Amino acid sequence: IAGCSGGNDDTIVPGTNAAFAPFEYEEDGEIVGFDIDLAEEAIDRAGYEVGDWSDLKFSSLIPSLNNNDIDLIAAGMTINPDRKEQIAFTDPYWESNQSVLVQSDGDFQPEGESDLDGARVGAQKGTTGESETERLRNEGVIAEDALKRYNNYVLAVEDLEAGNVDAVVVDQPVANNFAAGRDVSVAFVIETGEQFGMGMRQDDDRIGDINDALAEIRDDGTYDDLVAEWFE
Ligand code: ARG
């Protein structure tokens, strides 16, 4: 049956990559965050059961969705044409740019893209942050071997703190969150104007119910409550 995971059309099994606070992260062995609450609320209001969360590599989320291992991606995932060829997205629920993080008290304090000349720049594999580092490489700003790819953004920021990479490109709200809790700060912002959506299989009709639920969550103020809880 189309749109089924484990043969159960009443349950929506969500997947994420839980190293992207405050959207999704692990705390005391539990996956928590804005995306987690928003997705669970949407699935519930749409009339489905919330399945057990899967914590996967970011680059495995789309294959796992299309394999029926999960039914919904809630992972701060940017809606883009490449992904839209593979999966369907809900209506957008967030807007973001990319921020460039550096060590707070380091000598390297770039003010714009051209200052990244000669720098080692990191991002999580399979993300739009990685695409930005690839663009910088294609434009000749950074060298081929200066591009560092990580399995998740926590590892990238730890490597930045350790001095093994000079800058990390990551979604703006997540960069701000790292800057609040670690010895890193935002050097400058790359205006990418991205929108986040939840991903579902292209043949899964339940996406209409999820979109209706997301609209209701916005209209009745629940969305603002969640933003206040996780971002302020
Ligand atoms: N918004 C970026 C993208 O779609 C990064 C998302 C990373 N999300 C995560 N849960 N690690 O590529």
Q: What domains can you pick out in the chain, each with its CATH number?
A: 11-93+197-231 (3.40.190.10), 97-193 (3.40.190.10)
Ligand 1 nearest-atom number relative to CA 18: 10
pLDDT tens digits, 176-191: 999 999 999 999 999 9
Instruction: Outline where 147-221 has alpha helix (H).
Output: 153-161, 172-181, 207-219
Taking CA 121 as the corner, what is the angle to CA 118 and CA 125, rounded to the nearest 5 degrees? 150
Tokens of 129: 């942050």
Ligand 1 nearest-atom number relative to CA 152: 11
How far does residue 106's CA lie from ligand 1's centre (Å)? 26
How far does residue 4's CA lie from ligand 1's centre (Å)? 25
Q: Is the CB of 20 under 6 A from ligand 1?
A: yes
How far does residue 152's CA lie from ligand 1's centre (Å)? 9
Q: Is the CB of 24 under 6 A from ligand 1?
A: yes
How far does residue 19's CA lie from ligand 1's centre (Å)? 10
Q: Is the CB of 78 under 6 A from ligand 1?
A: yes
ipTM: 0.98
Residue 7's pLDDT is what? 52
How far does residue 171's CA lie from ligand 1's centre (Å)? 7
pLDDT tens digits, 136-187: 999 999 999 999 999 999 999 999 999 999 999 999 999 999 999 999 999 9
